[in-house]
């Protein structure tokens, strides 16, 4: 009996030591699983953020856990659009603005452009002017709306109202600017860039761009080219110096630091619709299969709760000449747009995913969502580019004289890159050689608009390049002639497309989603989709930003709760 007890004790000790040994050998937090070398050693070597937990929500964003849903029309189709046939889609987790981008947010963007690229200087005037919203969208031939023309964008009474009069192109440029400003501030807070540099060191020839900082940090201001430029946290990380006391390893946090956020961008159509439905709070088989009509529960636009019985759940047009209801308790509280957060959020915590303003999404419009080719993170609109490289192998950074302007169909100029950014060029045939996942830079027409999808396609013959034989015979504006972007004359000739066209669909037409203050309840259904030229603006289309999530699908707190 005593011998058995002793043997059990020995076995237990051996097992315990073995377990400790196994645990120790499997702990590769600061040791390489590949080589056994130390990671983040003071002596040098591989430096990596081994304490990274998970992505934090960037300013203005809330977490949207991804999943599967039925994208497209699930209700009756009285309009007979046939452009949103139901398809099953899966969306990865991402982050999204809890509200639309507001006038105050957009004014901050305009203020920054005005300070850094003064419109009084001839070389920069079109940068600021190209970003200005079109306030004339409020005018109506038989209506008096001059108050909104002169006040809606800038008056503090409308500060927290969604910005309108912004084209899709302008929304994309705002998103790029926002990415840089958020990362710029975060790196300063962590001590990697000079304190206050975003105010004191910024000018037209010295700005901060996220990609530039990652690829060639010395060309972005506050790039820690010496110890004195960094904050205390940065100096603590400089562990090696040469005989002159200069740092050998400079501190330039890249993607591996975990500090730099992914880019702010427009959500894809699939993401926007998924987020608007807000299925996360409902466990009902029919709703999961695509029977949910609005961002809220139920089939009606009025609140069914006892305390708020009859209150409208969104800001929309209720009928002819009825933009808000009879004044009083039954009114929806708005005749045009409403202040953000005027209505309850959906189950993801997102406000105004129905009503108030419609919203731009990233996708190029096509009548059919091609789920036969892809049903994961669906998006039509990819144009793949790469960094332009100088002869010495360094990336080409846009200078003050290298700004490229897009001439819109109405003659307005919009800057598509700014000084400090890395110049982009299309990928080439050399880049796509022997690839199976993509074959060229511009993928907007893939399987719907390209030659092989046209009825004129002949696989063994050269396809006629006659524009009239394109799949989508949309107007062309090649006959527009414009002066140089810096000239006083502006447009030198204005022409019009004189061909007989059969469609407005082109690669420059984008999807917008959600009903607005001008729309009937039919358009509040997140499945409904419409399109509009990307270089035009209205008084009922705004936008909000999204950001991809890196790492796990769920937040750590959600994973912990699920495991328990």
pLDDT in tens, 49-89: 888 889 999 999 999 999 999 999 767 677 777 788 899 99
Q: Is the pLDDT of residue 289 over 80?
A: no
Domain ranges of the chain: 61-449+507-548
Kindly report the pTM of this predicted structure.
0.89
Phi, psi dihedrals of residue 450, rounded to the nearest 5°:
-80, 175
| CATH class entry, domain 61-449+507-548 | alpha beta
Residue 11: pLDDT band with limits 50, 70, 90? very low
Residue 22: pLDDT band with limits 50, 70, 90? very low
Stronger pLDDT, 562 or 256, i.e. the higher one: 256
Q: Is the pLDDT of residue 150 over 70?
A: yes
Q: Which of 70, 101, 215 is nearest to 163 (CA)?
A: 101
Neighbours of 437 (CB within 10 A): 5
Quote the DSSP letter at residue 464. P
- How many angstroms separate the CA atoms of 261 and 213, rounded? 13
- How many angstroms separate the CA atoms of 536 and 171, rounded? 11
**pLDDT per residue over 230-249, tens digit each?**
555 555 554 445 555 555 45
**pLDDT per residue over 98-136, tens digit each?**
999 999 999 999 999 999 999 999 889 899 999 999 999
Coil/strand/helix, residue 359: strand
Q: Note the pLDDT of residue 217.
A: 83
When pLDDT is averaged across residues 152-172 and rounded to a whole number, the result is: 97
Stronger pLDDT, 85 or 338, i.e. the higher one: 338
The Cα-based distances of 164 to 134, 145, 345, 521, 537 in angstroms read 8, 14, 21, 20, 8
Q: Is the pLDDT of residue 216 over 70?
A: yes
Q: Note the pLDDT of residue 228.
A: 45
**pLDDT per residue over 495-518, tens digit each?**
677 777 778 899 999 999 999 999
Write out the DSSP string of 130-186. HHS--GGGG-BTTB--HHHHHHTTTSGGGTTSBP-S--HHHHHHHHHHHHHHHHHHH
């Amino acid at each position: 009996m005593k011998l058995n007890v002793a043997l059990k004790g020995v076995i237990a000790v051996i097992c315990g030591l073995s377990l400790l040994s196994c645990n120790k050998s499997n702990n590769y937090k600061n040791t390489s699983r590949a080589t056994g070398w130390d990671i983040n050693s003071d002596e040098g070597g591989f430096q990596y953020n081994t304490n990274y937990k998970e992505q934090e929500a960037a300013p203005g964003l809330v977490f949207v856990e991804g999943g599967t849903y039925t994208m497209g029309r699930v209700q009756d189709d009285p309009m007979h659009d046939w452009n949103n046939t139901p398809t099953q889609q899966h969306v990865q987790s991402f982050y999204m603005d809890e509200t639309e981008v507001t006038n105050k947010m957009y004014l901050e963007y305009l203020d920054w452009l005005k300070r850094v690229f003064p419109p009084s200087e001839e070389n920069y005037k079109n940068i600021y002017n190209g970003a200005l919203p079109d306030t004339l969208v409020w005018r109506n031939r038989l209506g008096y709306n001059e108050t909104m023309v002169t006040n809606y964008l800038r008056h503090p009474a409308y500060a927290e109202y969604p910005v309108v009069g912004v084209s899709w192109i302008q929304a994309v440029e705002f998103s790029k600017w926002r990415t840089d400003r958020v990362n710029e501030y975060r790196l300063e807070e962590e001590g990697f860039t000079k304190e206050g540099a975003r105010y004191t060191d910024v000018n037209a020839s010295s700005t901060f761009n996220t990609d530039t900082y990652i690829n060639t940090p010395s060309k972005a201001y506050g790039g820690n080219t010496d110890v004195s430029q960094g904050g205390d946290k940065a100096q603590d990380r400089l562990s090696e110096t040469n005989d002159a006391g200069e740092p050998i390893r400079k501190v330039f946090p890249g993607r591996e630091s975990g500090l730099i956020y992914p880019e702010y961008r427009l959500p894809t159509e699939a993401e926007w619709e998924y987020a608007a439905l807000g299925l996360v709070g409902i466990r009902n088989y029919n709703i999961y299969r695509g029977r949910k009509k609005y961002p809220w529960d139920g089939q009606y636009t009025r609140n069914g709760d006892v305390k708020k019985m009859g209150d409208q759940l969104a800001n929309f047009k209720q009928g002819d000449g009825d933009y808000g209801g009879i004044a009083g308790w039954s009114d929806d509280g708005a005749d045009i747009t409403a202040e953000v957060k005027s209505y309850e959020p959906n189950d993801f915590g997102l406000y105004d995913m129905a009503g108030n303003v419609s919203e731009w999404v990233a996708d190029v419009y096509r009548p059919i969502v091609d789920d036969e080719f892809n049903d994961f993170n669906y998006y039509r609109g990819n144009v793949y580019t790469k960094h332009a490289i100088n002869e010495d192998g360094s990336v080409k950074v846009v200078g003050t004289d290298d700004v490229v302007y897009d001439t819109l169909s109405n003659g307005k100029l919009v800057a598509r890159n700014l000084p400090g950014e890395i110049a982009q060029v299309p990928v080439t045939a050399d880049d796509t050689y022997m690839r199976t996942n993509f074959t060229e830079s511009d993928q907007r027409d893939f399987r719907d608009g390209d030659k092989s999808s046209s009825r004129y396609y002949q696989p063994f013959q050269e396809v006629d390049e006659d524009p009239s034989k394109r799949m989508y015979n949309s107007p062309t504006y090649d006959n527009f002639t414009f002066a140089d972007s810096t000239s006083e004359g502006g447009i030198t000739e204005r022409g019009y497309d004189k061909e007989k066209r059969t469609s407005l669909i082109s690669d420059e037409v984008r999807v917008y989603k959600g009903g607005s203050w001008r729309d009937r309840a039919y358009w509040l259904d997140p499945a409904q989709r419409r399109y509009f030229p990307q270089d035009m603006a209205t008084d009922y289309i705004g936008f909000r930003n999204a950001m991809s999530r890196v790492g796990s699908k769920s937040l750590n707190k959600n994973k912990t709760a699920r495991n328990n």
